[in-house]
Structure 1
Amino acid sequence: MDTKAFGLFLPPFHDPSVSPHASLHRDIEVCGVADDLGFDEIWLGEHHSSGWSTLSSPEMLMAALARETRRIRFATGVIPLPYHHPLHVAERIVLLDHLSAGRAILGVGTGTYVHDMEMIGVDPASVRDHFRAALGTVQALLNGETVNTTTPWFSVKKAVLQLQPLRGPGAIETVVASSLSPAGIELLTDTATTPTVHVAPPWGSIRPGMDPDPVGALIERVESYRNKSAGGTRIRCNVFVHVADSPAAGVEELLEGFSALRRGLYRNTLGMPIPDSPVAHRKTLQNLVDTGGFIVGDAATCAERIRDLMDRVGDPVSLNFFVPRWVSHRATLDQLTTIAHEIVPTLVGGFEGTAESIRLTSEEAARQLKSRTELVGNGGDK
């Protein structure tokens, strides 16, 4: 993978007023368009409750998508390890690796929805320790080891993968959802995994003014992680980008969908103490734009701010554009097309050749015009 890469992060959010079947097929269309547009990877999440988060098995969707796509890599974003037996997690990601011709990325985390945990008897107080134990077992299996271990949450006895990763043991990349806290950094360095992190924290918990510099805070955590890791480790940043005529116009385009998700999912369903007023939602969204947690503006402005973010994070970096679909499905596809056609080429030098050719041709045309003018002035052919 190049030092810079670009992908999409699709949370499993689906408006419960829209047909769940239709929502799923819209996800499929987004993934197909992402492949056609040349994005490098796509992250698909997993939840089991709330009515809004209805994608329960990202691996199944990815297996279907593998037959319909050519090059894009598929990342589980994320599999909550405390919800599954680690042997089964390892087996499913290896099967996906084969079905996708080596395009699978294993993204893992602890899980976030308490009701997800309660339905299957997982103690929310245990998920961090449970996660760490499960991660060690999954990694050992993916590395081709035979594993014997007993924990308070699971046991494995002479466990071995019958099917190895397509390109051999250890070939599947493991990525951990992390806030890059001190404990998170310790986990990443101990397990030799790489992080995926949001530029802004989960938007249901954001309050205006709570984080005056989300990008600066992220860069501090990234630097701390890289100082303690082996160096040269890839950072995946999930960032929301919306292209509009101006930041103010973008806020107006986003406000209805942004407010509906905060109200319907985070406040009314998950019980977060979010003020439910148009003023509160607008102030929160505006604050995210003003502080750089969200990147909103015309294509040139967005490209400039994304370049600054990537430069500050440093190579290697993958930027995954967060796609919560706060605008209509058609507008979402248009946004992805604009990002792929107008912003990503700017970030990778895709316009430099044409710009240089225009400059050289213009200079030559000016030189030729001057030469012809001088010739005519000296009595030459007209």
Structure 2
Amino acid sequence: MQTRGKTNLWRPCLTESRHVRTGVFLPPHHGNDEDVSLCMQRDFELVQWLEYLGFSEVWMGEHHSGGMQIYGSPDLFIAAAAERTSRIRIGAGVISVPYHHPYMIADRMIQLDHQTRGRAMFGFGPGMLVSDAAMLGIAPEQQRARLVEGVDVIHRLVSGEVVTHDSEWFTLRDASMQLSPYSHPLPEMTVVTSRTPVGSRLAGRYNFGILTHGGGDVNASWALAEETGREFGNQLSRDNLRVVVSFHLAETREEAAKAVEFGLEPWMRYLEALNPASYADSRAKAGNDAAKLIALRGGLVGTPDDAVEFLERMWERTGPFGCLLMTGTNWMNFEATKRSYELMMRYVMPRFNKANRQRERSFDWVYENREAFSGANIAAINKAVASAGRP
């Protein structure tokens, strides 16, 4: 297999096809030296480009501190991006449930479900940044308990129940939604799973999808979700399992590695601010080798050939999943970023999904019979010439 130089853009696919969707997960990361308004406009332009390329979905994160992840309201982003697109699905990835009154989350969900005609998706999490929680006076040990409590109330409200609920952080009195969802029976809802079992248990209990990192223990997360699902009479589908991986692709490994120099250092500094121990470990193991740094964190810098091999290994390790989400890291400049997504859709996913097997079979058939077909064609032409002008 070619791994250096220009990528090999054709290879026979002989096994059964897959149907893995492709999306992008945008935290997003924008350097603190950039104009915020232009960053936002570039993100909207990116969503339009992803739709053109055929990506199935894109997710936008919620963050309130640190400066690099600039969206505090993914639902506002969804509303604006939906007006600029017509097909791609757009998700809140994720709503930090402990930071909001659950009734207001449910109300905004249903409104967005109608505004987007069912294209909006809703992910739930406890809130990633401890700094966000600190500003709101929420202790880290409170976040996951509030997530569980809040998700239950949100699910009941969106399902049409009248809810009375007393909590240390919110109150409801005979509360109900005045609108039913546009989507039937409910809008698509997911949870994030990472280092605790909370997300998997929520997914099993409410038959939600799972959004998890490809470098983590996907099988353990999914097994716990399935086990919990059986307890509540739910049968989960791996089609709703989304695996997040950081990729940057270019025609050569050298080009890919060079491109990530654009934004890798600001991202590493941000990692150091969030998790000094993780930053120190990555630096100690990889130094300034960009491709190795990203590989240590479960990602890939390389060619489409490398990406196909990477995905095949991941598939063997994790088992089937329904959607591959590429992380929108902004390690590269905008043009290199768009090209990376284009290479993924043009050359990686068709091979990984084995979508061209019938085209390849047709080509092989024509090629194997080329002498016979060519001979028959020449004979037909000669006959036509010989009989020219005759009745």
Normalised to the residue count of structure 2, the TM-score between the two structures is 0.82
Q: Which residue of 2 aligns with 1:73?
A: 89
Q: Which residue of 1 aligns with 2:354?
A: 349
Matched, 1:151 2:161: no
- For 1:171 and 1:66, the matched residues in 2 are separated by 19
**Is 1:180–1:197's contact at 8 Å kept on the other side of the alignment?**
no
Q: Which residue of 1 aligns with 2:222?
A: 222
Deviation (angstroms), 1:152: 1.2
Q: Which residue of 1 aligns with 2:3?
A: none
Aligned with 1:282: secondary structure?
A: coil
**Is 1:244–1:250's contact at 8 Å kept on the other side of the alignment?**
yes
- For 2:262 and 2:52, the matched residues in 1 are separated by 29
Instruction: Say which is worse superposed, 78-87 or 46-55, in terms of deviation.
Output: 46-55
Q: Which residue of 1 aligns with 2:15?
A: none
- For 1:278 and 1:18, the matched residues in 2 are separated by 29
Higher relative CO (Cα under 8 Å, sequence separation at least 6) belongs to: 2
Matched letter for residue 155 of structure 1: T
Q: Percent identity?
A: 26
- For 1:311 and 1:3, the matched residues in 2 are separated by 16
- For 1:232 and 1:277, the matched residues in 2 are separated by 38
Q: How many residues align?
A: 355
2:148 to 132, 145, 168: 132
Q: Tell me the C-alpha RMSD between the 2 structures.
A: 2.8
Task: Note closer, same or farther for the CA distance 1:89–1:3 as it changes in structure 2 (3 Å cut).
Answer: farther
Aligned with 2:164: secondary structure?
A: strand
Deviation (angstroms), 1:278: 9.5
Instruction: Say which is worse superposed, 277-286 or 91-100, in terms of deviation.
Output: 277-286
- For 2:274 and 2:377, the matched residues in 1 are separated by 75
Matched, 1:266 2:282: no
1:99 to 90, 95, 115: 115
Deviation (angstroms), 1:136: 0.4
Runs of 5+ consecutive residues of structure 1 not aligned to the other structure:
201-213, 375-380
**Is 1:7–1:319's contact at 8 Å kept on the other side of the alignment?**
yes
User: Could you report, residue by residue, the CA deviation over 1:72-125 in whole angstroms, capped at 9, with x for unpaired residues?
Assistant: 111100110001000110111111111111111110100022221222222222
Deviation (angstroms), 1:343: 1.5
Matched, 1:239 2:254: no
**Is 1:4–1:317's contact at 8 Å kept on the other side of the alignment?**
yes
Task: Note closer, same or farther for the CA distance 1:354–1:123 as it changes in structure 2 (3 Å cut).
Answer: same
Deviation (angstroms), 1:70: 1.1
User: Could you report, residue by residue, the CA deviation over 1:234-255 in whole angstroms, capped at 9, with x for unpaired residues?
Assistant: 2110111222345565334324
1:177 to 192, 203, 228: 192
Instruction: Say which is worse superposed, 32-41 or 296-305, in terms of deviation.
Output: 296-305
**Is 1:255–1:285's contact at 8 Å kept on the other side of the alignment?**
no
Matched, 1:319 2:324: yes
- For 2:248 and 2:257, the matched residues in 1 are separated by 9
Matched letter for residue 200 of structure 2: I
- For 2:377 and 2:163, the matched residues in 1 are separated by 82
Deviation (angstroms), 1:43: 0.4
Matched letter for residue 83 of structure 2: R
Task: Note closer, same or farther for the CA distance 1:297–1:88 as it changes in structure 2 (3 Å cut).
Answer: same
Task: Note closer, same or farther for the CA distance 1:31–1:277 as it changes in structure 2 (3 Å cut).
Answer: same
Task: Note closer, same or farther for the CA distance 1:182–1:21 as it changes in structure 2 (3 Å cut).
Answer: closer
Q: How does 1:191-230 map to 2 (within 5 A)?
A: 191-200=206-215, 217-229=217-229, 230=235
Instruction: Say which is worse superposed, 117-126 or 107-116, in terms of deviation.
Output: 117-126
Matched, 1:338 2:346: no
Runs of 5+ consecutive residues of structure 2 not aligned to the other structure:
1-17, 230-234, 380-385, 387-391
Task: Note closer, same or farther for the CA distance 1:312–1:370 as it changes in structure 2 (3 Å cut).
Answer: farther
Deviation (angstroms), 1:363: 1.8
Deviation (angstroms), 1:336: 1.1
- For 1:135 and 1:330, the matched residues in 2 are separated by 39
Instruction: Say which is worse superposed, 28-37 or 122-131, in terms of deviation.
Output: 122-131
Matched, 1:22 2:38: yes
- For 2:132 and 2:154, the matched residues in 1 are separated by 21
- For 1:8 and 1:360, the matched residues in 2 are separated by 37
Matched letter for residue 264 of structure 2: F
Q: Which residue of 1 aligns with 2:311?
A: 306
- For 1:259 and 1:352, the matched residues in 2 are separated by 41
User: Could you report, residue by residue, the CA deviation over 1:340-374 in whole angstroms, capped at 9, with x for unpaired residues?
Assistant: 12222223333223322221221222234578999
Task: Note closer, same or farther for the CA distance 1:53–1:164 as it changes in structure 2 (3 Å cut).
Answer: same
- For 2:297 and 2:284, the matched residues in 1 are separated by 21
- For 1:146 and 1:122, the matched residues in 2 are separated by 28
**Is 1:76–1:107's contact at 8 Å kept on the other side of the alignment?**
yes
Task: Note closer, same or farther for the CA distance 1:221–1:66 as it changes in structure 2 (3 Å cut).
Answer: closer
Task: Note closer, same or farther for the CA distance 1:256–1:80 as it changes in structure 2 (3 Å cut).
Answer: same
Task: Note closer, same or farther for the CA distance 1:326–1:288 as it changes in structure 2 (3 Å cut).
Answer: closer
- For 2:369 and 2:19, the matched residues in 1 are separated by 36
**Is 1:11–1:324's contact at 8 Å kept on the other side of the alignment?**
yes
Task: Note closer, same or farther for the CA distance 1:270–1:348 as it changes in structure 2 (3 Å cut).
Answer: closer
**Is 1:12–1:46's contact at 8 Å kept on the other side of the alignment?**
no
